[in-house]
Structure 1
Amino acid sequence: MTIDGAGEQEAPEGFGARVRSALAWRWGSQLVAQFITWGSTILVVRLLDPSDYGLFAMSQVVVTALNFLNGWSFASSLIQAEKVGEREIGQAFALLLLTNGALALIQLLIAPLAASYYGQPEVAALLRVQALIFLAIPFTALPTALLARRLEFRGQGIANLVSAIVAAVTALVLAWRGFGVWALIYAPIAGYAVRAAIMCVAARLWVRPVFDLKGAGRMVGFGGALTLCQLFWIVQSQSDIFIAGHVFTVHQLGLYSEALFLTLIVTGRFIPPLNDVAFPAYSELHKAGRSLGPYFERTMQSVLLVVSPIYIGLSLTAPEAILVVFGAKWTGMAPIVSGLALVMPLMAVQIICSPTVTATGKERIYLATSMAGAAVFATSFLIGVQFGAQGLVRAWWVAAPTLLAITLALTLPQIKLPLRRLLLAALPPAAACLAMAGVVAALRLVLPADIGPVATLAILGLAGAATYCAILFLAWPDVVRQSLAMLRRTPSDPLPLPASGPAPGDRTSTIAD
C-alpha cells in the first residue's frame, strides 16, 4: 500500500486549492477551539488561585520536557518521504509506542525527585497522573502525520473542536467543585483521550505496529535529528520555569507562568496549526524545484501584520486588560505581561523560520539554531532570575532578538532571500505599530483617572486599532489589498502563501501538536 498525495506532479491551482482547504480547516478549527479554551481559562482562572498555577507550572516543566521527546518527529518523517507504505506506517507506530511507553515510565520514576527539587510534595502526585498523557500520543501523532501528508485537515479540525470542548467542560466543572490544581491536570488528559480516538477514526488507522525496524534508517535519522532539536528546545523553553521554581514562591511562579502563558497564546496556539499545513506544502514546493524565498517573505509579512498589533496593544493596555479579564488578584502579573508582549512578534518570526530548512532536508540548520536558543535563553534566565520576575522579562528582551539574528543569518542564504527584502516586508506592520503606540500613550495622558478600567481599556483599544488600520490603508494600501486578496482567492487563482511553518511554537507542544 502506498499513501498518495506527496511527491506527485500537480497543477499549481490544484495544489493551491488543497493548501487553502487544509489551512481553512486546521487554522479555522484551532481558532474556534482556542476561543472555547480562552473562555474556559478566564472562568477557571477566576475560580483558582495563583498558587494552583504555580504548582501546575512546576509539574509542567517535567511533562513538557518529556513531551518534546515523544517521537512525534518519527511520524513527521512520513510527511517528507517520497513514498510511504503500510510497513513504514507500522514502523513509525512501533517507534511511537516504544518511545512514549518509556517516557511514561521515566515520569513515574522521577516524580519524587521533582517534588523534592521544588519542595512541594504534591508535585509528585500530579506527575504520576499526567503520565497518562503519553499513552494517547501514538494514537494522535501518527494519524496527524498521515492526514497532513495528504493535506487533509477536516478530521483534525473536528478532533480539535471536540477535544477542546471536553477539556474546557472538564476544567470548569472540576474547578467549580473545588478540585483546585487537579482541574488543570484532568482537563488536558480528557482532551488528549478524545482527540486520539477521533484522529484514529479520521485517518483510518487500522495498522499494526511493526517492531522490525529494518529499512527504517531514514525515518530514524530524520526523527532522531528533530528529536535532538527538541532536546535543545526543552532547555530554551522550560529553563525559566525550572530555574525560577527553585527561587520564587509558588505565588510568584504562578503569576509569571500565567503571564507567560497569556503572551504565548498567539505564537504558541495559532502559528503551529498554520505550520501543520505549511510543512507538507513547503515539502511539495521543494520537491517541485520551486524557491521558498518569496513564500517565506510573504509569510513573515502576513504573520507580522496580525500578531504585531495584538502584542503591542497588549503591552500598552496590560494593567487594564489583566484587571478586567482576570480580576484583582492577578494584577501582579500586569507588568510581566507588558514586558513579555514586546518581544513576542520576534518570536513569531523565529517560529516560521524552521520549516524552510526542515522541509528541504536541512535539519542541521534547525539543529544549530536549537542549540543556539538553548545556550542563549538558559544563560539569560540564569542571570535574570536574580532580579525577580522583571529580571526574567529582561532576559527575554536580550535572548529573543539574539536568537532571531542567528536564525536569519543561517536561514536566509538557504532560501536565497536578501535581508533587505525581509526588512522592507516588516516595515508596514512595524511603522503602523509605532504610530499606534504613540496615539495610545498620548491618550493615556489625557484620559480622566476616574473613568474606570473597562472604559479606559475600550477607549485605548479602539483608538489603537483604528490608528493601526488607518496607517496601513493610507501608507501601504497594496499590502492590505494583497493580504485581503489571499483570503478571497478561488481555486483557479495562483498558489497562495502558506501562512506559517512548522516549528516548536509552543512551550507545551511538539512540531505537529
Structure 2
Amino acid sequence: MIEHKKAIKHGAKWTFVGYIAQKTVVFAVGIVLARILDPMDFGLLGMIMVFVNLFDIIVDSGFGYVVVRYRNIDRKILDSILTLNVLLGIICFILLNITSDYIAIFFREPKLQSLILPISFLLLINAFKIVPFNLNVRNLLFKERSKIDVVSAIASGILGITLAYNDFGVMSLIYQILFANLLSTSLHNFISDHKINFFMDRTSVNMIWKRSHKIFSESITSTIFNNLNKIIIGRYFSAQLLGFYTRGHSFPSFTQKAIVQVVQKSIFPVYAKIEDGNEVNFIARKTIRTLCIIYMPIILVLAAISKNLILLLLTVKWEESIFFAQILAIASSLFAPQMVLRNVLKSRNDKSFLISENTSKVTRLILLIGLIPFGIKWVIIGQVINGVITLLVSGYFTKKEIGYTLTEQFADYGSLFFMAILLALPSFLLDYLLDFSYVIELAIQLITFSVLYLLYLKFKRFNIIKIFT
C-alpha cells in the first residue's frame, strides 16, 4: 500500500511537471506562429477542430476509460478495443470528408473544404493511440508519458514554425498537429507492452460498451458545450474574429489549466474519501480561500496587462484579441471557487452535480444565442454572467450537501475577490497613465503588482511554497 501511494505521488508530480512543460512549449510555439501567421489561419483551424474533436470522441467512445479502469483487462479485450478504435477511425474519417461541403456551408467559409481532408488523418492516427496511451496510464508510466508530451510538442513546434516561415499558412498548423500526434502515437506504442493486433471478440465488445457508454455520452455533451463559443463565433461572425478569440482565450486558459493540474492532483481526491460532511465543509472552505489568494490576483492582473502583453508578444495585428483576453480573464477569476464547489458535489452526490452542470450548460447556451444580435462583445461578456450563475447554482447545491451556506461561501471568496481587484487595480490604472514602450509599461505593471502581492502575502502570513511541496 505504501509503495502504491508513493507511485501515485511520484506520478502526480511527473504529470504536473510534464503538463506544465508541454503547455509552456505549446504556448511559446503558439506565440511565434501568431507573429508569422494571420488571425484568419487560426480561425479556420478553430472551425475545423470543432468537428475533428467531436469525431475524435466517437473514435474513442469511452474505450480508453475501460483500459484504465477495468480490473481484469486482458489481451483479448485490448485487441478488441484497438480493432474497434481503428474501425471507428476509418468510418469517422470517411464521414468527416463526406460532410466537408456541409461544414464549409455551415460556417460560410469555402476554404474549409480543402483543409478537412488533411486534418481528418488525425482520426486515423489517434485510433492507434487510445490503447497504448491509456495502458501506459494504467501502468503508471507517468514519467515516460510526460517526456513523450514534451518531445512531441517541441518537435512539432519546430516543424510548424519552419513551415510557417516558408509560407504554408494554415497548413503549417495542420501539419504541426498531425506530426505531434503521429510522434506521440508512435512513442506510446513503442513503450507499451501491448503490440498492435487486430482481433474482435463479441463478448469483450459487449462488456466494453456496457462500461464505456456513459463516459462516451458525457464526453460528447462536454465537447459540444466546450466548443459552443467557437461554433457561435465561426457561424455568426467570421473566421478572423474566431482567430482573435482563440488567441485571446489562450492567455487566461494557460493560467487556469495550470492551477487545475495542481489542485486536482493534490486536493480533490481527498473529498471522495471523507464521509463526514462537516470535515468536507472545513476542507472545501480552506481550499477556496487558498486558491483564491493564489489565483484571483494573478488572473486579474493578467487582464490588466493583456494590452501590453499581447502587443509585445503578438504585435499590433493581434490588437483585437486584447478585449477577448481581458473579458475572459475576468470571467475566469471566479473559476477557483467554481472548481472547488463542483468537485465537492461530484464526490458527494452525482445527481446534484449533474443538475448543477446541466443548469450551467443551459444558461450558457441561452446567453450565447440570446446575445448574438448584440454583437461579439456581448457574447463574450455573457461568459462573465454565466460564471456568476454557475457559482451560485453550485453554491446552492453545496449548501444542501455539506451545509456550506451561500453567505459563508461569499464571505470566503467575496472578500478575497475584492482584495484581488485592489491588487490588480494599480496595473489597470498604469496602463492608461503611462506612455512608454510596451516593454517598459509591462515591466512597471508587473513590478508594481509583484510588490503589492508579496506584501499582501506577507501580511496574511501565507506561504505559497508549502502549497506546492
Please report the TM-score for the alignment, with normalisation by the length of structure 2.
Answer: 0.86
- Give 2:29's aligned residue: 40
Alignment of 1:204-353 (within 5 A): 204-206=193-195, 208=197, 211-214=200-203, 219-268=208-257, 270=258, 277=265, 282=269, 286=272, 293=280, 300=288, 303-347=291-335, 349-350=337-338
- Judged with a 3 Å threshold, the aligned counterparts in structure 2 of structure 1 residues 149 and 375 are, in CA distance, closer, same or farther, namely same
Alpha-carbon distance in 1 for matches of 2:395, 2:214: 20
2:305/2:431 contact within 8 Å kept: no
- CA displacement at 1:47 relative to structure 2: 0.7
1:130/1:185 contact within 8 Å kept: yes
Q: Aligned Cα RMSD in Å?
A: 3.3
- Judged with a 3 Å threshold, the aligned counterparts in structure 2 of structure 1 residues 458 and 245 are, in CA distance, closer, same or farther, namely same
2:422 corresponds to which of 435, 449, 459 = 435
- Judged with a 3 Å threshold, the aligned counterparts in structure 2 of structure 1 residues 177 and 443 are, in CA distance, closer, same or farther, namely closer
Alpha-carbon distance in 1 for matches of 2:62, 2:339: 17
Alpha-carbon distance in 1 for matches of 2:201, 2:346: 27
Alpha-carbon distance in 2 for matches of 1:62, 1:456: 41
Matched letter for residue 485 of structure 1: K
Q: May I ask how many residue pairs the two structures share in their alignment?
A: 466
Query: Highest relative contact order (Cα 8 Å, sep 6+), 1 or 2?
Result: 1
Matched letter for residue 21 of structure 1: H
Deviations 1:50-88 (A, max 9, x none): 121222222122222333444263212444445444444
SS, match of residue 22 in structure 2: helix
- Judged with a 3 Å threshold, the aligned counterparts in structure 2 of structure 1 residues 439 and 88 are, in CA distance, closer, same or farther, namely same
Alignment of 1:376-415 (within 5 A): 376-410=363-397
- Judged with a 3 Å threshold, the aligned counterparts in structure 2 of structure 1 residues 379 and 271 are, in CA distance, closer, same or farther, namely same
Task: Decide which structure has greater helix share.
Answer: 2
SS, match of residue 399 in structure 1: helix
- CA displacement at 1:210 relative to structure 2: 5.0
- CA displacement at 1:429 relative to structure 2: 5.1
1:471 corresponds to which of 456, 461, 464 = 456
1:103/1:134 contact within 8 Å kept: yes
- CA displacement at 1:188 relative to structure 2: 0.8
- Judged with a 3 Å threshold, the aligned counterparts in structure 2 of structure 1 residues 194 and 303 are, in CA distance, closer, same or farther, namely farther
- CA displacement at 1:165 relative to structure 2: 0.8
1:155/1:203 contact within 8 Å kept: no
- Judged with a 3 Å threshold, the aligned counterparts in structure 2 of structure 1 residues 92 and 19 are, in CA distance, closer, same or farther, namely same
2:55/2:92 contact within 8 Å kept: yes
- CA displacement at 1:36 relative to structure 2: 1.7
Alpha-carbon distance in 1 for matches of 2:71, 2:398: 24
SS, match of residue 468 in structure 2: helix
- Judged with a 3 Å threshold, the aligned counterparts in structure 2 of structure 1 residues 231 and 299 are, in CA distance, closer, same or farther, namely farther
- Judged with a 3 Å threshold, the aligned counterparts in structure 2 of structure 1 residues 309 and 275 are, in CA distance, closer, same or farther, namely closer
- Judged with a 3 Å threshold, the aligned counterparts in structure 2 of structure 1 residues 328 and 258 are, in CA distance, closer, same or farther, namely same
1:418 corresponds to which of 387, 404, 409 = 404
Alpha-carbon distance in 1 for matches of 2:396, 2:315: 43
- Judged with a 3 Å threshold, the aligned counterparts in structure 2 of structure 1 residues 373 and 204 are, in CA distance, closer, same or farther, namely farther
- CA displacement at 1:359 relative to structure 2: 7.2
SS, match of residue 137 in structure 1: helix
Residue ranges of structure 1 left out of the alignment (5+ in a row): 1-9, 489-513
1:432/1:467 contact within 8 Å kept: no
1:61 aligns with 2:50: yes
Residue ranges of structure 2 left out of the alignment (5+ in a row): none
